[in-house]
Amino acid sequence: MLPPDSAELADLAARWRSAYVHIPFCRRRCPYCDFAVVAPGDPGTGDIEQLTTRYLSGLHAEIDMESDWEPLAALNLGGGTPSAVGAGAIAAVIDHLESRFGLEPGAEISVEVNPEDVTEEFVEGLAEAGVNRVSVGVQSFDDEVLRSLGRAHTAARAVAALEVCLDRFSTGLDLIFGTPGESLESWRATVATGVSLYPHHLSAYALTVEPGTVLGRAVREGAVAPDPDDQADKYELLQDAVGEAGLVQYEISNYARPGHTCRYNLSTWGQGEYLAFGLGAHGHRDGVRRRNVRSVTAYLERVEAGARPEAGRDITADPEMERLILGMRRTCGVDLGDREEAAEQDPGLQRLVAAGVVELSRGRLHVVQPLLADDVGATVLSLSA
């Protein structure tokens, strides 16, 4: 078994084909979230159940519009809240994708779930549908923090959900740190609880203020913003603690026990190709990056008329550069290829080397301080072939 942070595994992942399916429905809109989400009370939404039914048929129609491809190594259902539509709907989507494109043996079938949706029955349904991986949107084990994040569950509910999932699936624990009001002690306790549950996978993201969200507006109007230094402290605390659970870092924000890396994620950072279905979904096929419309009305109009719900396409101008800036996010680093010489001579990159932020060795670039990855990325972008 290849370790999570091995370059060989990363290279393998680059060749995997996957599919991403977006389920936008949520019971409420979290104040920080800027995904394509449909929540009750959104203008023009009407009856949510009716809309969900329409959306799911639209989704199936969209899957039918995609031209044939190779069998998939990974399926990822994300959201929104995929668990909100129930195991039956999830099973139907998985079946459809399998019959359209086929699945590789041992394919990863992953679903994002919210703790409040996890019941024995639901988990049973997922397992029957072939799901073998879940990531649980816990965010924090502190009820106070959960409230300020606008989440619907409690810490106790999250623990119970994880316990159920851990028995059945390769289970990922998703956390958010650096929420204003979250103390270092609160985070320390969250990490301790997380580690003690011994998850297969851990994602921990620093809370980011996105424009156009409730949080974004609040901060613009003077509310306390997440403090980068506080987030750095919490990141370091996490780095020191994950080892206890046997978790190995393989990307800036992702840790896994051997054999439990997320295939879909790893493939994305390796510039792999993936199909995308659903609202606001982003795909990458035959060298073209495309994105779907973000409005549910527009989406339904298009797919119901038999048209692709595409909002735009990007043809990567410099695929080699894209490979570098994606790949450098991984712990195994990235092969510099024909930019090796440029990297060694670049004064900006040399400053980063001198400051101990990156290492250049044997033609690879490693970001040693992942928290400064964007600084590195911006510098790498200036390297010419």
Partner 1 sequence: MTDAARIRNFCIIAHIDHGKSTLADRLLEATGAVEARHMRAQHLDTMDIERERGITIKANSVSIRYTGPGGEDYLLNLIDTPGHVDFSYEVSRSLAACEGAVLLVDASQGIEAQTLANAYLAIDSGLEIIPVINKIDLPAADPERVAHELVGILGGSAAEIIAVSAKTGEGIAELLDAIVEKLPPPEGDPELPTRALVFDSYYDTYRGVVCHVRVVDGSLETGSAVRFSATGVTASADEIGMQLPAAMPVKKLNNGEVGYLITGIKEIDLIRVGDTVTTVGGGATEALPGYSEPRPMVYSGIFPTDGDDFERLRDALDKLRLNDSSLVYRAETSRALGFGFRAGFLGLLHMEIVRERLEREYDLDLVTTAPSVGYEARTADGSTVAVSSPQDLPDRAELESIAEPFVKVMIITPSDYVGTVMELVQHKRGEMGEMTYLSPTRVELHYLMPLAEIVFDFFDQLKSRTKGYASMDYEPAAYRISDLVRVDVLLNNLSVDAFSTIVHRDKAYEYGRRMATRLRELIPRQLFDVPIQAAIGGRVIARETIKAKRKDVTAKCYGGDITRKRKLLEKQKEGKKRMKMVGAVEVPQEAFISALRIDE
Contact residues toward partner 1 (CB under 8 A) are 20, 22, 34-35, 78, 205-206, 208, 228-229, 231-232, 235, 252-253, 268-269, 274, 276, 280-284, 289, 291, 314, 322, 325-326, 348, 351-352, 355, 357, 370-375, 377-379, 381-382
Q: Minimum distance between the CB of residue 94 and partner 1, rounded to whole angstroms?
A: 18
* Cα end-to-end distance, the chain, whole Å: 35
**What is the tally of helices (H) and strands (E) in the chain?**
15, 15
CA distance 297 to 279: 10
Q: Minimum distance between the CB of residue 115 and partner 1, rounded to whole angstroms?
A: 20
Nearer to partner 1, 42 or 210 (CB): 210
Nearer to partner 1, 164 or 276 (CB): 276
For residue 195, the one-letter residue type is V
CA distance 64 to 222: 47
Q: Minimum distance between the CB of residue 77 and partner 1, rounded to whole angstroms?
A: 11
Q: Minimum distance between the CB of residue 240 and partner 1, rounded to whole angstroms?
A: 15
Q: Minimum distance between the CB of residue 95 and partner 1, rounded to whole angstroms?
A: 22
Nearer to partner 1, 80 or 122 (CB): 80
Nearer to partner 1, 35 or 198 (CB): 35
Residue 157, helix vs strand vs coil: helix
Q: Minimum distance between the CB of residue 107 and partner 1, rounded to whole angstroms?
A: 17
Nearer to partner 1, 123 or 370 (CB): 370
CA distance 280 to 261: 25
Nearer to partner 1, 157 or 172 (CB): 172
**Size of the chain in residues:** 385
Q: Minimum distance between the CB of residue 231 and partner 1, rounded to whole angstroms?
A: 5
Burial of 327 from C-beta contacts in 10 A (0-12 / 13-18 / 19+): buried
User: Hunting for tokens 């990056």 — which residue is that?
Assistant: 289
Q: Which runs of E-coded beta strand occur in 63-127?
A: 72-79, 103-113
CA distance 42 to 38: 7
Q: Minimum distance between the CB of residue 128 and partner 1, rounded to whole angstroms?
A: 26
Nearest in space to 262 (alpha carbons), one of 117, 112, 90: 112
Nearer to partner 1, 314 or 344 (CB): 314
Q: Do the Cβ atoms of 75 and 103 come closer than 8 Å?
A: yes
Nearer to partner 1, 307 or 378 (CB): 378
Q: Do the Cβ atoms of 89 and 56 come closer than 8 Å?
A: yes
CA distance 228 to 231: 5
What's the Cα-to-Cα distance from 199 to each of 30, 108, 191, 257, 317, rounded to whole Å?
24, 17, 12, 8, 39
